[in-house]
Structure 1
Amino acid sequence: MAQFRNDDGYCYLTGRLAHSDVITLWPSREQLISADTQCIDCSGLDYIDSAGVAMLAQLVVKHQCAQLTFKMLPLQTQKLIDLYDLQAFFPEEAQ
Protein backbone atom coordinates (compact mmCIF):
# COMPACT_ATOMS: atom_id res chain seq x y z
CA MET A 1 0.00 0.00 0.00
CA ALA A 2 1.18 3.52 -0.76
CA GLN A 3 2.58 5.67 2.00
CA PHE A 4 2.21 9.45 1.91
CA ARG A 5 4.95 11.38 3.79
CA ASN A 6 4.70 15.17 3.89
CA ASP A 7 7.86 17.20 4.43
CA ASP A 8 8.68 20.83 3.65
CA GLY A 9 6.23 21.38 0.78
CA TYR A 10 6.68 17.90 -0.70
CA CYS A 11 4.55 14.79 -0.40
CA TYR A 12 6.63 11.67 -1.00
CA LEU A 13 4.74 8.62 -2.28
CA THR A 14 6.18 5.16 -1.82
CA GLY A 15 4.83 1.66 -2.38
CA ARG A 16 1.93 0.77 -4.61
CA LEU A 17 -1.30 2.59 -5.37
CA ALA A 18 -3.65 0.04 -6.90
CA HIS A 19 -7.42 -0.44 -6.72
CA SER A 20 -7.37 -2.34 -3.41
CA ASP A 21 -5.07 0.30 -1.88
CA VAL A 22 -7.32 3.13 -3.07
CA ILE A 23 -10.30 1.47 -1.36
CA THR A 24 -8.35 1.36 1.91
CA LEU A 25 -6.95 4.91 1.62
CA TRP A 26 -10.09 6.62 0.29
CA PRO A 27 -11.72 7.39 3.69
CA SER A 28 -8.58 9.27 4.82
CA ARG A 29 -7.86 11.02 1.49
CA GLU A 30 -8.41 14.49 2.98
CA GLN A 31 -5.43 13.98 5.31
CA LEU A 32 -2.97 12.43 2.85
CA ILE A 33 -1.56 15.73 1.54
CA SER A 34 -0.82 18.63 3.86
CA ALA A 35 -2.12 22.12 3.08
CA ASP A 36 1.39 23.43 2.33
CA THR A 37 2.23 20.68 -0.19
CA GLN A 38 3.42 22.08 -3.51
CA CYS A 39 4.80 18.94 -5.13
CA ILE A 40 4.04 15.22 -5.05
CA ASP A 41 7.20 13.17 -5.55
CA CYS A 42 6.29 9.82 -7.11
CA SER A 43 9.82 8.45 -7.39
CA GLY A 44 9.14 5.88 -4.68
CA LEU A 45 6.04 4.39 -6.29
CA ASP A 46 6.52 0.76 -7.32
CA TYR A 47 3.17 0.43 -9.06
CA ILE A 48 0.10 2.51 -9.87
CA ASP A 49 -3.01 1.54 -11.81
CA SER A 50 -5.92 3.56 -13.20
CA ALA A 51 -7.63 3.68 -9.79
CA GLY A 52 -4.44 5.16 -8.32
CA VAL A 53 -4.27 7.77 -11.08
CA ALA A 54 -7.92 8.65 -10.41
CA MET A 55 -7.19 9.05 -6.70
CA LEU A 56 -4.24 11.35 -7.40
CA ALA A 57 -6.42 13.42 -9.74
CA GLN A 58 -9.01 13.72 -6.95
CA LEU A 59 -6.29 14.89 -4.54
CA VAL A 60 -5.27 17.57 -7.04
CA VAL A 61 -8.86 18.79 -7.32
CA LYS A 62 -9.23 18.92 -3.52
CA HIS A 63 -5.89 20.76 -3.18
CA GLN A 64 -6.84 23.62 -5.53
CA CYS A 65 -5.60 26.36 -3.17
CA ALA A 66 -2.08 26.04 -4.61
CA GLN A 67 -0.48 24.91 -7.85
CA LEU A 68 0.34 21.29 -7.17
CA THR A 69 3.01 19.69 -9.35
CA PHE A 70 4.36 16.17 -9.71
CA LYS A 71 7.92 14.92 -9.75
CA MET A 72 9.21 11.67 -11.20
CA LEU A 73 5.94 10.25 -12.50
CA PRO A 74 6.60 6.63 -13.50
CA LEU A 75 6.36 5.90 -17.24
CA GLN A 76 3.36 3.65 -16.61
CA THR A 77 1.58 6.55 -14.89
CA GLN A 78 2.41 8.96 -17.71
CA LYS A 79 0.90 6.50 -20.19
CA LEU A 80 -2.34 6.33 -18.19
CA ILE A 81 -2.45 10.13 -17.90
CA ASP A 82 -2.05 10.43 -21.67
CA LEU A 83 -4.60 7.67 -22.34
CA TYR A 84 -7.24 9.42 -20.22
CA ASP A 85 -6.22 12.94 -21.34
CA LEU A 86 -5.49 14.08 -17.76
CA GLN A 87 -2.37 16.17 -18.40
CA ALA A 88 -4.01 19.28 -16.88
CA PHE A 89 -4.30 17.46 -13.54
CA PHE A 90 -0.66 16.31 -13.49
CA PRO A 91 1.68 19.25 -14.19
CA GLU A 92 5.29 18.20 -13.79
CA GLU A 93 7.76 20.09 -11.66
CA ALA A 94 10.37 22.02 -13.65
CA GLN A 95 13.74 20.28 -13.49
Structure 2
Amino acid sequence: MAEFKQQGNTCIVSGQLDQQAVRSLWNGRDSILATETSALQLSKIEYCDSAGVAFLLELVGIHAAKGVSLKLVSPSEQLKKFIILYDLNDFFIEEAK
Protein backbone atom coordinates (compact mmCIF):
# COMPACT_ATOMS: atom_id res chain seq x y z
CA MET A 1 0.00 0.00 0.00
CA ALA A 2 1.19 3.50 -0.77
CA GLU A 3 1.60 6.15 1.89
CA PHE A 4 1.40 9.89 1.26
CA LYS A 5 3.21 11.95 3.90
CA GLN A 6 2.97 15.74 3.71
CA GLN A 7 6.10 17.75 4.59
CA GLY A 8 5.54 21.41 3.86
CA ASN A 9 4.92 21.91 0.15
CA THR A 10 6.20 18.42 -0.65
CA CYS A 11 4.39 15.12 -0.30
CA ILE A 12 6.57 12.04 0.03
CA VAL A 13 5.07 8.95 -1.55
CA SER A 14 6.33 5.59 -0.31
CA GLY A 15 5.44 1.92 -0.51
CA GLN A 16 3.65 0.22 -3.37
CA LEU A 17 1.48 2.11 -5.79
CA ASP A 18 -0.17 -0.68 -7.72
CA GLN A 19 -3.66 -1.42 -9.00
CA GLN A 20 -4.88 -2.56 -5.57
CA ALA A 21 -3.55 0.59 -3.88
CA VAL A 22 -5.07 2.80 -6.58
CA ARG A 23 -8.48 1.19 -6.07
CA SER A 24 -8.38 1.99 -2.36
CA LEU A 25 -7.12 5.56 -2.94
CA TRP A 26 -9.31 6.45 -5.92
CA ASN A 27 -12.38 7.84 -4.15
CA GLY A 28 -10.25 10.14 -2.00
CA ARG A 29 -7.97 11.32 -4.81
CA ASP A 30 -9.34 14.89 -4.76
CA SER A 31 -8.28 15.35 -1.15
CA ILE A 32 -5.20 13.14 -0.85
CA LEU A 33 -2.86 16.13 -1.21
CA ALA A 34 -2.85 19.46 0.59
CA THR A 35 -3.76 22.39 -1.66
CA GLU A 36 -0.29 23.92 -1.22
CA THR A 37 1.51 20.75 -2.39
CA SER A 38 3.83 21.62 -5.26
CA ALA A 39 5.88 18.40 -5.48
CA LEU A 40 5.43 14.67 -5.10
CA GLN A 41 8.73 13.13 -4.01
CA LEU A 42 8.79 9.60 -5.45
CA SER A 43 12.18 8.15 -4.46
CA LYS A 44 10.65 5.95 -1.74
CA ILE A 45 8.24 4.10 -4.04
CA GLU A 46 9.17 0.42 -3.85
CA TYR A 47 6.89 -0.73 -6.66
CA CYS A 48 4.64 1.05 -9.15
CA ASP A 49 2.64 -0.43 -12.02
CA SER A 50 0.77 1.26 -14.88
CA ALA A 51 -2.23 1.95 -12.63
CA GLY A 52 0.09 3.71 -10.18
CA VAL A 53 1.62 5.86 -12.91
CA ALA A 54 -1.86 6.75 -14.16
CA PHE A 55 -2.84 7.69 -10.60
CA LEU A 56 0.17 10.00 -10.24
CA LEU A 57 -0.76 11.71 -13.51
CA GLU A 58 -4.36 11.98 -12.29
CA LEU A 59 -3.11 13.84 -9.21
CA VAL A 60 -1.18 16.23 -11.49
CA GLY A 61 -4.40 16.81 -13.46
CA ILE A 62 -6.46 17.45 -10.33
CA HIS A 63 -3.96 20.05 -9.13
CA ALA A 64 -3.80 21.65 -12.60
CA ALA A 65 -7.60 22.01 -12.57
CA LYS A 66 -7.18 23.96 -9.32
CA GLY A 67 -4.55 26.18 -10.95
CA VAL A 68 -1.63 24.61 -9.07
CA SER A 69 1.43 23.08 -10.70
CA LEU A 70 2.39 19.71 -9.23
CA LYS A 71 5.84 18.31 -10.03
CA LEU A 72 6.70 14.61 -9.90
CA VAL A 73 10.28 14.54 -8.61
CA SER A 74 13.04 12.01 -7.87
CA PRO A 75 11.40 8.83 -9.19
CA SER A 76 12.62 5.58 -7.63
CA GLU A 77 14.80 3.22 -9.67
CA GLN A 78 11.83 0.92 -10.33
CA LEU A 79 9.67 3.84 -11.42
CA LYS A 80 12.43 5.09 -13.75
CA LYS A 81 12.08 1.87 -15.75
CA PHE A 82 8.41 2.67 -16.35
CA ILE A 83 9.24 6.25 -17.31
CA ILE A 84 11.72 5.07 -19.94
CA LEU A 85 9.50 2.25 -21.20
CA TYR A 86 6.50 4.53 -21.77
CA ASP A 87 8.47 7.69 -22.68
CA LEU A 88 7.10 9.71 -19.76
CA ASN A 89 10.20 11.88 -19.26
CA ASP A 90 8.18 15.09 -19.72
CA PHE A 91 6.13 14.33 -16.60
CA PHE A 92 8.91 13.44 -14.15
CA ILE A 93 11.83 15.51 -12.85
CA GLU A 94 15.10 14.00 -11.63
CA GLU A 95 16.48 15.89 -8.64
CA ALA A 96 19.43 15.30 -6.40
CA LYS A 97 18.50 13.18 -3.41
Q: What TM-score comes out, normalization by structure 2 length? A: 0.83
Percentage identity across paired residues of the two chains = 36
Q: Which amino acid aligns with 1:74?
A: S
Corresponding residue SS for 1:63: helix
Gaps of 5+ in 2: none
Structure 1 match to 2:61: 61
Structure 1 runs of 4+ with >4 Å offset? none
Aligned pairs, number:
94
| Aligned equivalents of 2:95, 2:16: Cα separation in 1 | 25
Deviation at 1:57, TM superposition (A): 0.6
Gaps of 5+ in 1: none
CA contact (8 A) 2:39 2:72 kept: yes
Change (3 A) 1:93 1:85: closer
Deviation at 1:94, TM superposition (A): 4.8
**Cα RMSD (Å):** 1.6
Q: Which amino acid aligns with 2:37?
A: T
Corresponding residue SS for 2:37: coil
Structure 2 match to 1:37: 37
Corresponding residue SS for 1:29: helix
Structure 2 match to 1:72: 74
Deviation at 1:41, TM superposition (A): 0.8
| Aligned equivalents of 1:3, 1:55: Cα separation in 2 | 13
Structure 1 match to 2:86: 84
Corresponding residue SS for 1:37: coil
Q: What TM-score comes out, normalization by structure 1 length? A: 0.85
Q: Which amino acid aligns with 1:10?
A: T
